[in-house]
């Protein structure tokens, strides 16, 4: 009978201990007086590398900025404001966010704007981009447009983070007398600029 009782007590003790042993971290304290039990958990958070670029309307839309020169002002150096852009009036939202160091930003064109007729072109140097404060402390400066790939703008990170935005206003300088026509357009006649942000 004693042997049977000992076996039952041992089985009960093992049954109680098994759930505790299966836990990742646990301690059991017994006895009189104050007791302290500790259990530990380790955490890991995985942050992916990100690089975000926005110029104009958020999402997949591509904005069209249009400059219409009055007939009496062609080539007289009076700057022409644009229409269109997510902020209207030829103004767009520009944003770069990144979390892994220095970012370079440039603008790429396939050539000077054309109206489709041989020899009729307007240089992208005629379109000036002015950056103004939007929401961030550091204004995102705009690449100077060219008839190819612009010079890079270097965005310096703070603690590996780049978070810069701006309101970019496009203006047509109107310093050249050119033949009548519609130059550029929706992905036609070299009318599209592609902005590119790069991070190592």
96-110, pLDDT tens digit by residue? Answer: 999 999 999 999 999
In a domain, 73, yes or no: yes
In a domain, 19, yes or no: no
State residue 22's pLDDT score.
46
In a domain, 26, yes or no: no
In a domain, 11, yes or no: no
**Per-residue model confidence as pLDDT tens digits over 14-56:** 455 555 444 567 888 888 889 999 999 999 999 999 999 999 9
Q: What's 158's DSSP letter?
A: B
In a domain, 28, yes or no: no
Q: Is 187 exposed, middle or buried (0-12, 13-18, 19+ CB in 10 A)?
A: exposed
In a domain, 37, yes or no: no
- Total domain count, the chain: 1
Cβ atoms of 92 and 142 closer than 8 Å: no
In a domain, 20, yes or no: no
**Per-residue model confidence as pLDDT tens digits over 167-183:** 999 999 999 999 999 99
pLDDT band at 7 (very low <50, low <70, confident <90, very high): very low
**Per-residue model confidence as pLDDT tens digits over 61-84:** 999 999 999 999 999 999 999 999
| Of 149, 183, 166, residue with least CA distance to 80 | 183
Q: Residue 132: which CATH number?
A: 2.60.40
Q: What is the pTM of this model?
A: 0.83
């Amino acid at each position: 009978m004693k042997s049977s009782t000992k076996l039952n007590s041992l089985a009960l003790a093992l049954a109680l201990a098994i759930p505790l042993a299966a836990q990742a971290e646990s301690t059991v304290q017994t006895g009189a007086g104050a007791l302290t039990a500790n259990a530990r958990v380790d955490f890991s958070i995985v942050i992916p590398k990100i690089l975000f670029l926005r110029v104009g309307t958020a999402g997949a839309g591509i904005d069209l900025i249009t400059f219409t020169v009055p007939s009496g002002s062609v080539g007289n150096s009076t700057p022409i404001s644009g229409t269109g852009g997510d902020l209207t009036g030829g103004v767009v939202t520009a944003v770069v966010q990144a979390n892994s160091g220095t970012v370079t930003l440039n603008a790429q064109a396939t050539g000077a704007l054309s109206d489709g007729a041989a020899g009729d072109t307007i240089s992208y140097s005629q379109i000036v981009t002015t950056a103004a404060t939007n929401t961030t402390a550091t204004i995102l400066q705009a690449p100077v447009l060219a008839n190819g790939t612009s010079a890079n703008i270097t965005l310096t990170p703070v603690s590996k983070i780049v978070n810069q935005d701006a309101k970019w206003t496009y203006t047509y300088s109107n310093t050249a007398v050119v033949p009548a026509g519609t130059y550029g357009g929706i992905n036609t006649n070299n009318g599209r600029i592609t902005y590119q942000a790069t991070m190592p």
